[in-house]
A and B are shown apart, each in its own frame.
Chain A
């Protein structure tokens, strides 16, 4: 990208100096380059950075050039546009808009649904990672100690409750000591 900017600036530098007098009968080479890029489209303002490019953006609304080259119809409408706008029909207003702009605000601000592709691809990659994780866990599995057996866990739980471990907000607070069962 930097290379392209360099080439562009080199081209504009190479285009100067502008010949004067009779030798200036030949048109400006810089203008030639611009016209080669944008065709016959009218330059109407500064745009984003002074360059004659077209874009649709909501934060820098008016591009530097019109979207379409001016035809005879459009030139006619432009003359009519200089008068009272209430004389313009809806079709004429739309034609004028589309001559200057490619998309309407609602068209270029419309959701693209691109987020679904991105979220979908990310979730697929996450699931691949999870499969790898599960594979490692399965391959490296070690048998649990004896104290994890069901009877031993029951015995330990009985002892925990008899000792009133965590009686305030923890496990023993959920046990009903009168009924010898969990609180309902």
Chain B
């Protein structure tokens, strides 16, 4: 989640998100270099005393400043394309979680082992404890085992929603009448937050997503407890 002092993206909890962060840092570095170069050129043009009325062309420098941006773009494009294909890799998930977006809550189903279904409502501000995060905490969190590939199948019951967790680099639209699938892996334990990302009515800002990443043993006991409810 975003905390104080978070200027750009939060730290990643998944290897794909790490790669996205690296690509972002790489592209931003290139952008910053270009900005500094252009800023310096503009400043030096502003303050110089050069004076020549008959300047028409300079073939060499024109060649350079046409080819150079193309080269820079190649430096950005190659890592970007590599990551693009990496995100679409096929893998073999261990656990499948189904999520359905409603107005205005998410419901989750774990049907691999036992028939577990539950709803996840935001904790209203007037029922919050001191330590709760306003507009982010929910009553029932999704639990998943870490270091295991998770398959998420997302759909909606009424209008468009979008299921997202920024630290995992995951965002998928929940479309009624359609099943969208995404696969991810968490490489650390913790609690990860997200918020509905497709306008869906009055309480669109009040249907967050909370995922708890736990050890496989804890996950099995959680499944066991939930299936008895």
**In the docked arrangement, what's the CA distance between A8 and B5, Å?**
67
Question: Which of chain B's residues have a CB closer than 8 A to the CB of A147?
Answer: 125, 128, 132-134
B53 in the interface (beta carbon within 8 A): yes
User: Which stretch (A15-23, A39-47, A89-97, A168-176) binds chain B?
Assistant: A168-176
A75 in the interface (beta carbon within 8 A): no
Q: Is the CB of A156 within 8 A of B131?
A: yes
Q: Which of B10, B11, B52 has the most CB of A within 10 A?
A: B11
A114 in the interface (beta carbon within 8 A): no
Given contacts A164-B190, A171-B4, contact A158 B131 (CB under 8 A): yes
Partner of B3, one of A155, A158, A166: A166
A159 in the interface (beta carbon within 8 A): yes
B217 in the interface (beta carbon within 8 A): no
Q: Which of B5, B130, B190 has the most CB of A within 10 A?
A: B130
Q: Is the CB of A152 within 8 A of B130?
A: yes
Given contacts A146-B125, A147-B134, A156-B133, contact A167 B3 (CB under 8 A): no
Q: Is the CB of A169 within 8 A of B125?
A: no
Q: Is the CB of A169 within 8 A of B11?
A: yes
Question: Which of chain B's residues have a CB closer than 8 A to the CB of A159?
Answer: 131, 133
Q: Is the CB of A165 within 8 A of B1?
A: yes
A151 in the interface (beta carbon within 8 A): yes
**In the docked arrangement, what's the CA distance between A169 and B129, Å?**
28
Given contacts A163-B190, A165-B190, A167-B188, contact A155 B131 (CB under 8 A): yes
Q: Is the CB of B190 within 8 A of A170?
A: no
Chain A 40-78 near chain B by CB (<8 Å), digits 1 or 0: 000000000000000000111000000000000000000
Which residues in window 102-155 of A have CB below 8 A to B? Answer: 109, 145-147, 151-152, 155
| Secondary structure type dominating chain A contacts | loop
B92 in the interface (beta carbon within 8 A): no
Given contacts A165-B190, A167-B188, contact A160 B3 (CB under 8 A): yes
**In the docked arrangement, what's the CA distance between A60 and B4, Å?**
59
**In the docked arrangement, what's the CA distance between A60 and B3, Å?**
61
Q: What's the nearest-Cβ distance from chain B to residue A11, in Å? A: 30
Chain B 191-213 near chain A by CB (<8 Å), digits 1 or 0: 10000000000000000000000
Question: Which of chain A's residues have a CB closer than 8 A to the CB of B51?
Answer: 58-59
Q: Is the CB of B11 within 8 A of A168?
A: yes
**In the docked arrangement, what's the CA distance between A177 and B10, Å?**
20
**In the docked arrangement, what's the CA distance between A159 and B125, Å?**
17
Q: Is the CB of A166 within 8 A of B131?
A: no
**In the docked arrangement, what's the CA distance between A48 and B68, Å?**
39
Question: Which of chain A's residues have a CB closer than 8 A to the CB of B10?
Answer: 165-166, 170
Residue in chain B with minimal CB distance to A161: B3
Question: Which of chain B's residues have a CB closer than 8 A to the CB of A171?
Answer: 3-6
Q: Is the CB of B11 within 8 A of A167?
A: yes
Question: Which of chain B's residues have a CB closer than 8 A to the CB of A168?
Answer: 11-12
**In the docked arrangement, what's the CA distance between A168 and B190, Å?**
13
Question: Which of chain A's residues have a CB closer than 8 A to the CB of B49?
Answer: 109
**In the docked arrangement, what's the CA distance between A29 and B117, Å?**
103
Question: Which of chain A's residues have a CB closer than 8 A to the CB of B129?
Answer: 155
Which residues of A pack against B, CB within 8 Å? 58-60, 109, 145-147, 151-152, 155-156, 158-160, 163-171
A-B residue pairs in contact (CB < 8 Å), sample of 9: A109-B49, A146-B125, A146-B128, A147-B125, A147-B132, A155-B131, A156-B130, A170-B5, A170-B6
Give 17 A-B pairs besides A58-B51, A155-B130 with Cβ atoms closer than 8 angstroms: A59-B51, A145-B125, A146-B128, A147-B132, A156-B130, A156-B133, A158-B131, A163-B191, A165-B10, A166-B1, A166-B10, A166-B11, A167-B188, A170-B3, A170-B5, A170-B6, A170-B11
